Amino acid sequence: MSRWPDKYVIGLTGNISTGKSLVRKMLEHLGAFGIDADGLTAQAMSKRAPAYQPVLETFGNWILNEAGEINRQSLGKVVFADPEALAKLEAIVHPIVRGAIHTLVGRATQKVVVIEAIKLFESGLADECDAVWVVDAPEDLQLDRLVTKKGLSAVEASQRMAAQGPQSDKIARADVVIRNTGSFEQPWARVQEEWAAITGVEEEPEEEVAVEVPEEPAAPAVAVAPADISLDDLAIERGGPGDAQKIADFINEMRKDGKVLTSTDVLMAFGQKAYFLATSTGMVVGLAGWQVENLITTVDEFYLRSGVPPTRIVAGLIDHIEDASAQLQSEVSFLFVANDLPGDTVQHFIDAGYEAGNVEDVKVQVWREAASALQPPDTRMLTKRLREDRVLKPI
């Protein structure tokens, strides 16, 4: 039993780029509260955060960038090449991160919590969990992800993989092993099976999920503004993987760049984000694609059907995103909207408490990095602080 008797805590681990975050997001879709311990590590080393000064005293000021922030890429090149240096860094960061995790788990309202940590065993977190899940993936897939998604060279990627403990040791200590070979369907089915065993609740079959990419995708439909939609029966619902085709169809209808999204594209996106759909008279009239990662909410897709009054749609989508963000203890929200979105529509976001600004103006390092990494092209940024008590508050 975990140290939290009122919760079922899953410790999620596996070597680098095996797909741990994918599995954590799947569990969040099902209703779990997810914690990314590695993301908290980055926050702990932010300027004036608890690990900042101890790391500088151990490794020196040369790891700072021009803004006086720790350059984690420079630090990583040292610690992943030197086991002794890595041990020193972990000795500083692990206790701070564990304290933050205890705070987050303690105030979570969800009954199932998943803690993703690449060093789950080494940090002692595994001993505090009810079950340990290990995500396993082929080494060539790990290497490809590190090179294509993280931008590492093949040498750097191999170096980081070699710095991990043997994957076989983790699997030997696992209660559940999730195999990930690059598709969404296989791990999703396994996660749903285990979720049903934990909660006693089986998810509805995802009969609508399309897994084949059409050889010649159809051109997106031309957006039509129905004049008879009054929004009297407006409903906001969270889209699931079974809604992949509906989501793809609406986005294709709204997009202006000529690109065609398939249901498989949307299905794969569920490994990173979630969707809220606004519907009226059986028709989708609005959509928001969003995620909470490292206590940061980002909304990088926001579509409204033209010709439909936006006020209630915007307010409804924002309210649902913020309610869900509160459940995930998010501290800040970044909303990215198209540059050509009409000013009166943007005003609805401002009325909801968002402020227009630029990424460069964001003072908190990890918030700025997240906004910079996730802001789509040709969009403007709106920001709202969601809670004042940061779990890794500056000192």
Structure tokens at 383: 């920001």
Q: What's residue 103's pLDDT? A: 94
Of all residues in the chain, the percent with pLDDT exceeding 90 is 62
pLDDT value for 222? 41
3-state secondary structure the chain: CCCCCCCEEEEEECCCCCCHHHHHHHHHHHCCEEEEHHHHHHHHCCCCCCCHHHHHHHHCHHHECCCCCECHHHHHHHHCCCHHHHHHHHHHHHHHHHHHHHHHHHHCCCCEEEEECCCCCCCCHHHHCCEEEEEECCHHHHHHHHHHCCCCCHHHHHHHHHCCCCHHHHHHCCCEEEECCCCCHHHHHHHHHHHHHHHCCCCCCCCCCCCCCCCCCCCCCCCCCCCCCCCCCCEEEEECHHHHHHHHHHHHHHCCCCCCCCHHHHHHHCCCCEEEEEEECCEEEEEEEEEEECCEEEEEEEEECCCCCHHHHHHHHHHHHHHHHHHCCCCEEEEEEECCCCHHHHHHHHHCCCEEECHHHCCCHHHHHHHHHHCCCCEEEEEEECCCCCCCCCC
| Homologous superfamily of 235-385 | Gcn5-related N-acetyltransferase (GNAT) (3.40.630.30)
Whether pLDDT at 178 is above 70: yes
CA distance 196 to 151: 37
Cα(16)–Cα(159) distance, integer angstroms: 11
pLDDT of residue 395: 56
Mean pLDDT of 267-276: 91
Please give the order of strands across the beta sheet that includes 112-116: 33-36, 112-116, 8-13, 131-136, 176-179
Most trustworthy range by pLDDT among 76-80, 91-95, 267-271, 306-310: 91-95
Per-residue confidence (pLDDT) for residue 136, from 0 to 100 = 94
Cα–chain center distance at 268: 13
Phi-psi category of 19—alpha, beta or left, where left has phi over 0 and alpha has psi -120 to 50? left
What does pTM read for this prediction?
Answer: 0.85
Among 240, 248, 180, which Cα is nearest to 204's? 240
pLDDT value at position 217? 44
Cα separations in angstroms, 245 against 29, 193, 262, 265, 285: 17, 23, 7, 10, 15
Average of per-residue pLDDT values in the chain:
88
pLDDT at 209 over 60: no
Name residues whose C-beta falls within 8 Å of residue 313's C-beta, 6 or more positions apart in sequence. 231, 234, 278, 285, 286, 304
The answer to whether the CB of 64 falls within 8 A of the CB of 228 is no
Mean pLDDT of 182-201: 91
Give the pLDDT confidence of 297-328 residue by residue, as tens digits: 999 999 999 888 899 999 999 999 999 999 99
Average pLDDT over residues 334-342: 91
Residue whose C-alpha is closest to residue 376's, from 263, 283, 279, 251: 251
In whole angstroms, give the CA distance from residue 251 to residue 16: 33
Supply the pLDDT for residue 184. Answer: 86
Higher pLDDT, 219 or 288: 288
Q: Report the pLDDT value the prediction gives residue 183, as an integer from 0 to 100.
A: 82
Selection from 190, 221, 219 nearest residue 203 by Cα: 190
pLDDT at 229: 62
Of the candidates 287, 390, 395, 270, which has an alpha carbon nearest to the alpha carbon of residue 330? 390
Q: Is the pLDDT of residue 210 over 80?
A: no
Q: Of 1 and 349, which is predicted with more confidence?
A: 349
Contact 23, 145 (CB under 8 A): no
Q: Which of 25-34, 256-265, 355-364 has the lowest mean pLDDT?
A: 256-265
Cα–Cα distances in Å, from 290 out to 239, 287, 353? Answer: 11, 10, 18
β-bridge mates for residue 381, sequence order: 336, 357
pLDDT band at 203 (very low <50, low <70, confident <90, very high): low
Q: With the CA atoms of 356, 365, 389 and 287 taken in that order, what torsion angle do they form, in degrees rounded to the nearest 10?
A: 50
Q: Which of 112-116, 142-146, 182-186 ranks highest by mean pLDDT?
A: 112-116
For the chain, the residue count is: 395
Q: pLDDT tens across 116-171, in order?
A: 998 899 888 999 999 999 999 988 888 888 888 777 888 888 878 887 778 899 99
Q: How far from chain centre, in Å, is Cα 274?
A: 9
Confidence (pLDDT) at 352:
93
φ, ψ for residue 354 (rounded to 5)?
Answer: -85, 150
Q: Give residue 124's identity as a one-letter amino acid code.
A: G
For the 8-199 domain, the top CATH level (class) is alpha beta
Residue-level pLDDT at 165: 78
Domain coordinates in residue numbering, the chain: 8-199, 235-385
